[in-house]
Amino acid sequence: MKYEKRRTLCISTQSGCAMGCVFCATGQMGFKRNLTSGEIVEQVIYYANLLRREGESVTNIVLMGMGEPFHNYDATMAAIDRLNHPLGMNLGARRFTISTVGLVPMIRRFAAEQRQINLAISLHAADDELRTSMLPVNKKYPLSELMAACRDYVAQTHRRLTFEWALIQNVNDSVETARKLARLLEGLLCHVNVIPLNPTQKYAGKGSTRERALAFKAELERHGVPCTIRIRRGIDIQAGCGQLAIQQAQNSPSNPLMI
Residue 230's pLDDT is what?
83
Q: Is residue 21 assigned to a domain?
A: yes
The pTM of this model reads 0.87
Average pLDDT over residues 229-258: 43
Q: Is residue 3 assigned to a domain?
A: no
Q: Is residue 216 assigned to a domain?
A: yes
Higher pLDDT: 39 or 246? It is 39
pLDDT of 86-145, one tens digit each? Answer: 999 999 999 999 999 999 999 999 999 999 999 999 999 999 999 999 999 999 999 999
Average pLDDT over residues 8-21: 94
Count of structural domains within the chain = 1
Average pLDDT over residues 21-32: 87
Its domain, for residue 140, covers: 8-258
Q: Is residue 1 assigned to a domain?
A: no
Instruction: Check: CB of residue 171 under 8 Å from CB of residue 133.
Output: no
Q: Is residue 2 assigned to a domain?
A: no
Q: Is residue 66 assigned to a domain?
A: yes
CATH code assigned at 132 = 3.20.20.70
Name the band, by pLDDT with cuts 50, 70 and 90, for residue 250: very low
Q: Is residue 22 assigned to a domain?
A: yes
Residue 257 scores a pLDDT above 90: no
Identify the weakest region by mean pLDDT among 18-27, 79-88, 107-116: 18-27
